Amino acid sequence: MIEQIVSTGIFIIALTLIFSEKVNRTIVAFTSATLMILVGFYMGFYNQELAIEAIDFNTLGLLLGMMILVALMEPTGFFQYLAVWVGKISKGRPIRLLVLLGTVTTLVSMVLDNVTTVVLIAPVTILICEILGINAQPYLLSEALLSNTGGVGTMVGDPPNILIASAAGFSFNDFLIYSLPIVFVTWFVALGTLRFLFRKDLNKAVDIANVEALQELRPRDAIKDMDTIIKVLVMIVIAFIGFLSEEIIHLEPSTIALTCSAVALFWVRPEQLRTTLNHVEWDILIFFGALFVMVGGLEKAGVLELLADVIVQGMVLPTVVLGVIMIWVVAIMSAIVDNVPITIALIPVISSLGGMGVEIAPLWWALAFGAGFGGNGTIIGSTANVVVTSLSERTRNPITPSLWNKRGLPVMLTTCTIASGLYVGFYYLFGF
């Protein structure tokens, strides 16, 4: 019993510190993970070998592979090109601009890391809005909210999805079949909600002279390295063909991503390898690794089994109801804390429920929807939110927490409601 109390204590203190944002989350997770090993070793429930076994290298490998591909793409100007290009296509019409920028950010973030996407597209958004003489807030907020929402649709669109896919054994195609249709509808509802919430800003007319200035932008000049763009795009396409045919080629997604990134590195051969590798988010990889080690400790101490027992004993609810409850509970938690620790903590709980004969496939999808859509709720709910907010703080119209509560929170509530409805419908019509 004492092992369970101590390991749970370490985990809760770590989550509280991450939530307080007083100390960097990676430092908190790293310290707590080592503490878990030390305490576990002396109390006899955990040690280094077990900790290493607890790390899901499939998740880390897939993340690393995709991060290297993005790191190669980052300095090429490709993302800026896309943003400038859709800016021109919008012909300066606010609603069209919102839809196009939101769509591009979503589509790119379904394939690549959505933080990088937002980091590179948001500055160009600020630029386009200033040229047009309009407020950038609606566009920045929408980019974060829509990319969070769209990211739930693919296996590599969102870190929790990678974790869930690895734990549940879901393939890339499973996400296209079970998640993408629900996300597709939810995304349009989110867009409609944003269109309504920002109606005042979006209905303002734009000066014709400023629209002409926008039309003069030269997207091609934003591109710095066409050669690299083509090479990396080829490797990204090959990686996705690999993911799609996982069941034929029998390769783990991490093997596919790492192979493609290795080939891309060999093909591009960046002059400054260190600069390229600096773009890889090592802190996130360490954060994930440390969380795996911590949750591994909880598992070995018997905490998760206990938790699953409690859930099973108290569970008189049908799976679909449990799923809907899970969507909301996880969404609310994800709005307050980072969704990655929540996902990593819930994965073993769901797995142990599976061991007790509960139908768990619907619960995995509920976890994915809750973790993904919940991040829209607050200014700190997802990394993309934090990124657009901190960028907007360098402008004259910073995004404030109260603005986020007025615009982001309704989007979260709407998307979770719609997703819950579709989830129930999908469960009864097709089954997960």
Partner 1 sequence: MIIRDCMKTNVFSIREDELVTKAAKLFLEQHIGTLPVVNKENKLVGILTLQCMLKITMPDFVNVVENFDFIPNFGAVRTKQPERSELFRPVQDIMKKPVFVEEDWSLIHAAAILDKEESADIPVVSEDGTLVGLASHVDIGTGLIEQWDLDFF
| Residue 217 lies near partner 1 (rule: CB under 8 A) | yes
Residue with smaller CB distance to partner 1, 76 or 339: 76
b/e code 158-181 from CB counts within 10 Å (16+ = b): bbbbbbbbbbbebbbebbeebbbe
User: Could you give the C-alpha distances from 15 to 8, 280, 355, 371, 407, in angstroms and in order?
Assistant: 11, 25, 27, 16, 27
State which of residues 35, 130, 173, 417 lies at the interface with partner 1 (CB under 8 A).
130
Q: What is the DSSP string of 96-125?
A: HHHHHHHHHHHHHHHHS-HHHHHHHHHHHH
| Residue 207 lies near partner 1 (rule: CB under 8 A) | yes
State which of residues 108, 126, 363, 380 lies at the interface with partner 1 (CB under 8 A).
126
Min CB(198)–partner 1 separation in Å = 19
Min CB(42)–partner 1 separation in Å = 50
State which of residues 10, 14, 67, 84 lies at the interface with partner 1 (CB under 8 A).
84
State which of residues 21, 177, 199, 221 lies at the interface with partner 1 (CB under 8 A).
221
User: Could you give the C-alpha distances from 245 to 96, 112, 406, in angstroms and in order?
Assistant: 36, 19, 43
Contact 136, 395 (CB under 8 A): yes
Min CB(87)–partner 1 separation in Å = 10
Length of the chain: 432
| Residue 216 lies near partner 1 (rule: CB under 8 A) | yes
Please tell me the distance from the alpha carbon of residue 18 to that of residue 100, in angstroms, as a whole number.
35
b/e code 87-124 from CB counts within 10 Å (16+ = b): bbebebbbeebbbbbbebbbebbbbbbbbbbbbbbbbb
State which of residues 100, 214, 260, 380 lies at the interface with partner 1 (CB under 8 A).
214
Residue 407 corresponds to which tokens in the numbers above? 């615009």
Site map (CB under 8 A) of partner 1, residues 93-122, x = contact: -----------------------------x
The three-class DSSP label of residue 53 is: helix
Min CB(105)–partner 1 separation in Å = 16
10 Å CB burial of residue 311 (0-12, 13-18, 19+) is middle
- Sign, Cα dihedral of 8, 13, 17, 23: negative
Chain-centre distance of CA 168, in angstroms? 18
State which of residues 199, 220, 269, 406 lies at the interface with partner 1 (CB under 8 A).
220
Q: Contact region for partner 1 (CB under 8 A) — 127-135, 144-152, 193-201, 241-249?
A: 127-135
Please tell me the distance from the alpha carbon of residue 227 to that of residue 267, in angstroms, as a whole number.
10
| Residue 233 lies near partner 1 (rule: CB under 8 A) | no
Residue with smaller CB distance to partner 1, 53 or 221: 221
| Residue 131 lies near partner 1 (rule: CB under 8 A) | yes
Show contacts with partner 1 in window 384-423 (CB under 8 A): 391, 394-396
Query: Which value, to the nearest 10 degrees, does the dihedral of the CA atoms of residues 155, 158, 162, 168 take?
Result: -70
| Residue 127 lies near partner 1 (rule: CB under 8 A) | yes
Min CB(190)–partner 1 separation in Å = 25
Q: Contact region for partner 1 (CB under 8 A) — 110-118, 192-200, 212-220, 240-248?
A: 212-220
Contact 195, 293 (CB under 8 A): no
Q: At which residue do the structure tokens 């307080």 appear?
A: 20
| Residue 132 lies near partner 1 (rule: CB under 8 A) | yes
State which of residues 133, 181, 270, 354 lies at the interface with partner 1 (CB under 8 A).
133
| Residue 53 lies near partner 1 (rule: CB under 8 A) | no
Residue with smaller CB distance to partner 1, 210 or 417: 210
| Residue 283 lies near partner 1 (rule: CB under 8 A) | no
Residue 6 corresponds to which tokens in the numbers above? 């101590």
Interaction site with partner 1 (CB under 8 A) = 80, 84, 122-124, 126-127, 130-133, 136, 207, 209-210, 212-214, 216-222, 391, 394-396
